[in-house]
Amino acid sequence: MAHDDVEAELNRHPAVRECAVTTIRATSGRDVLVAYVVSADPSLDAQKVRTFLNAPKVRSARIPRAVVLVDELPRRASGEVDRDALPLPVQAGPPRGGKGGGGFGDGERIGALLGVAAVVTLLSLVLTNAFWPGSTDVSAVPGPWSGFFRGLYLAESLAFGLGVAFLMFGHPMLDRFDRPRWLTRLAHLAVVWLLASWWPQDNSYRLTGKTDWGSQAALVYGFNITLMVAAGVLVAFAFARHRDD
C-alpha cells in the first residue's frame, strides 16, 4: 500500500497498538496524510507521534499532518481496516469559502490571478506617465536599443500586475506547503514585493538625479534593501519545518 512505510514506523512505537495512514482532501484543497492511532498509553498525543516519526525514520513530507487517536480502527467483514469509515479530522473537512480566494479550486484561482494580473498590467502601463512623467521616454535612444528598453518597461508592468494578483490570490498556494502560519504570511508578502516593486522602483530611479544623494539613499533602502529582506524571508520559508496544527 502507498503508506506502508509510515505505518511500519508507527507500529514500532511501543505505545501504538495498531494504526492506519490514509490521504484526505483538506480544506485548502490539497491532499494531506492523516494517521489514525490506537494507543496502549493514555499519555500518547499527536505531537509525540509526529516527533517519533521525524527524520531519519520518515521524510518530512511523509510525516502525517494530522494524528487522530481512536479507540479502535473500523474493519470490514474480512478483517481489513475500513479506511472509508475512518473519522474525518476537523482540518480535513469539506472545502469552505473564505476571504482571499480560499473558496477557489486551483484552476479557478489561477484563472482569477491571471485575469487580475492582466488588468493591473494594463492599468500600470496607462498610468506610468501620470505618476512618473517622462520616465519611459526612449525618443533619444537609437534603435534597436529603444526596443529593448520598451521590453523592460513592459516586464516591469507585468511583474507589478502579477504581484498585485498574487497578493489577492496567492496565499493559499503558499499555505499548502504547511510552514508556520506567521512565516507563510511573510513569504506571501515577500513574493508580492519581489514582483510588484520593480514598477515603482525603476521608474523612480530613472527620474532621480545621479547626485541627488538623499533621494538615491531613500530609494536604496526603500527598494533594494527590502528586496534583499524579502529574498531572505523566502530562504527561511524554504528551510522551515512543517507546522504543527
**Domain parsing of the chain, residue ranges:** 4-92, 99-239
**Tens-digit pLDDT profile for residues 21-52:** 988 876 666 778 888 999 888 888 888 888 88
pTM for this model (two decimals)? 0.64
Which strands, in side-by-side order, build the sheet including 16-25? 16-25, 31-39, 66-69
Query: Hey, what CATH class is 4-92 in?
Result: alpha beta
**Tens-digit pLDDT profile for residues 172-199:** 889 878 788 899 999 999 999 999 999 9
Distance CA 156, CA 113 (A): 17
Residue 81: partners with Cβ closer than 8 Å, 6 or more residues away: 20, 73, 74, 75
Distance CA 188, CA 186 (A): 5
